[in-house]
Amino acid sequence: MPTFEEITAFVTEKPLATAVIALLSLAGLALAFLVIRVVWRAVAWLFARYVAQRPVEDVLTIVAASIATGVSAQGMWRFSGDVLGLDGPLRLLLFAFIEVAIITSAVRARRNMRENFSAGIDGIAVWALTCLTAVLSSMDARSAPEALFRLAAPLVAAWLWERGMAIERHRIRGTGRINWRLTPERLLVRMGLAEVSDRTASEVDAHRRLTRVALAAKRAKALREGGASERKMRAALSKLDKAMDQAVEHTGLAVDQSRQEALLAQIAALYNT
């Protein structure tokens, strides 16, 4: 880099060349400013056109899938050089052909989804090509962790694409996901460890005690109508009396009109069965 004295001497000796250099520098700065301004406007237009209108999760999905695709492409770059022996411009042109095919299939699958409500054969092609590039890029790995990472990156990209497609499918078709019959929540409800509704513990206990009274009353009525023995009737009435005492003590049955009505409704429903 020339010193300040050398620059001063050059300006003194060659003023015309210095003026030309200064003008060219100013023109270069003006051109750079215009280019930056055009690029900024283009980026702002693209952001407003394609990014701002999308939900945040869709934007993050695209970013994460792009990063994962880049990792896969880097693995294919090494594979094309070390295994296929490609070099120079040929390697630059051919190393990412599978990634390009994946992106093309993903775009076609999204268009099929919008037109036919199904990804079709292009959706299957995305997963098939993803598995292919994952295997090929991991074959040139230098260690087991690297191979695992190169296997995972394309699959992560495909999974994110699949989730984006599922969200779009739900938006277009208005259908929800599958409601499984066997879930942890349903198992806990079936075992009596969880409640379907959002009732409190006191409400659940009161309902169970009132149900116990109604069932005991139905049992006593059935025995009386069936001509049961005096011993069975005494046992049934004793059970009914005990259930009623517990309901009055723990549920406020004697003063709570709504629970009295609930008990009468349960008894009426059981008597009509």
Provide the residue-wise pLDDT of the chain in tens; the chain has 273 residues: 667 777 777 777 777 888 888 888 899 999 999 999 999 998 888 777 766 677 777 778 778 888 888 888 888 888 888 877 877 777 777 777 888 888 898 888 888 887 877 778 888 888 898 898 888 888 877 888 888 888 888 888 888 888 777 777 777 666 555 666 666 766 776 676 666 666 666 777 777 888 888 888 888 888 888 888 888 888 888 888 888 888 888 777 777 788 788 878 877 877 765
Does residue 68 sit in the same domain as residue 135?
yes
Helical pair 201-225 and 257-271, crossing angle rounded to 10 deg: 40
Residue 179 falls inside a structural domain: no
The sign of the torsion formed by the CA atoms of 125, 130, 133, 134 equals negative
Residue 178 falls inside a structural domain: no
Q: Say if residues 162 and 61 touch (Cβ distance below 8 Å).
A: no
Can you give the residue range of the structural domain that contains 76? 55-173
Does residue 117 sit in the same domain as residue 151?
yes
Domain count for the chain? 3
SS3 6: helix
Residue type, 3: T
Does residue 152 sit in the same domain as residue 213?
no
In this prediction, residue 180 carries a pLDDT of 67
Choosing from 126, 141, 173, the residue where a domain stops is 173
In this prediction, residue 196 carries a pLDDT of 60
pLDDT one-digit tens code per residue, 14-62: 778 888 888 888 999 999 999 999 999 988 887 777 666 777 777 787 7
Residue 40 falls inside a structural domain: yes
Residue 52: both structure tokens together: 């701002």
Residue position matching structure tokens 């008597």? 271
First to last CA, the chain: 102
Residue 107: both structure tokens together: 């775009």
Instruction: Name the maximum alpha-carbon separation found in the chain.
Output: 133
In this prediction, residue 12 carries a pLDDT of 78
Does residue 63 sit in the same domain as residue 150?
yes
Does residue 79 sit in the same domain as residue 136?
yes
Rounded Cα distance between 25 and 175, Å, is 62
Rounded Cα distance between 114 and 123, Å, is 13
Residue type, 236: A
Rounded Cα distance between 216 and 267, Å, is 10
